[in-house]
């Protein structure tokens, strides 16, 4: 019951009631990625994603990014994408987490690299 109420009133949590009904009546399931996100399209070729968990656009991996943005109509399979040893796996946006990039994390940030003209 609580998830149903969240679906009606809280649009930033996951899919809304309108998205669920649109997916139910007009959506054709296209596929699912390794993160559990589900991809749909309708007869007019409008494409959308139902995220698994929190809604975050950076959770779309490379093979589905090109499909959802109409760059290619073909969905890349993991077998077709050749990964090199130096390539990293896809990560979602790490801003606001402990894994976020912060260049001066271990350095003395208060130390200035210049002198002001006022003394």
What band does 64 get if pLDDT is binned at 50, 70 and 90?
confident
The span from the CA of 81 to the CA of 32, in Å, is: 16
What is the pLDDT at residue 26?
93
What is the pLDDT at residue 103?
74
Average pLDDT, the chain: 78
What band does 71 get if pLDDT is binned at 50, 70 and 90?
confident
Q: Please state, for a pLDDT cut of 90, what percent of the chain lies above it.
A: 17
Give the residue from 97, 78, 96, 98 showing the smallest Cα distance to 87: 78
> Tens of pLDDT along 93-103?
888 888 888 77
């Amino acid at each position: 019951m609580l998830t149903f109420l969240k679906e009606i009133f809280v649009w930033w949590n996951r899919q809304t009631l309108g998205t669920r009904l649109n997916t139910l009546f007009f959506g054709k399931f296209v596929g699912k990625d390794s993160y559990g996100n589900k991809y749909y399209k309708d007869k007019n070729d409008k494409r959308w994603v139902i995220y698994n968990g929190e809604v975050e656009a950076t959770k779309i991996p490379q093979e589905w990014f090109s499909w959802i943005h109409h760059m290619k109509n073909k969905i890349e399979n993991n077998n077709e994408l050749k990964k090199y040893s130096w390539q990293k796996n896809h990560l979602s946006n790490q801003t606001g987490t402990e894994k976020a990039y912060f260049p001066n994390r271990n350095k003395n940030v208060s130390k200035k690299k210049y002198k002001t003209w006022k003394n």
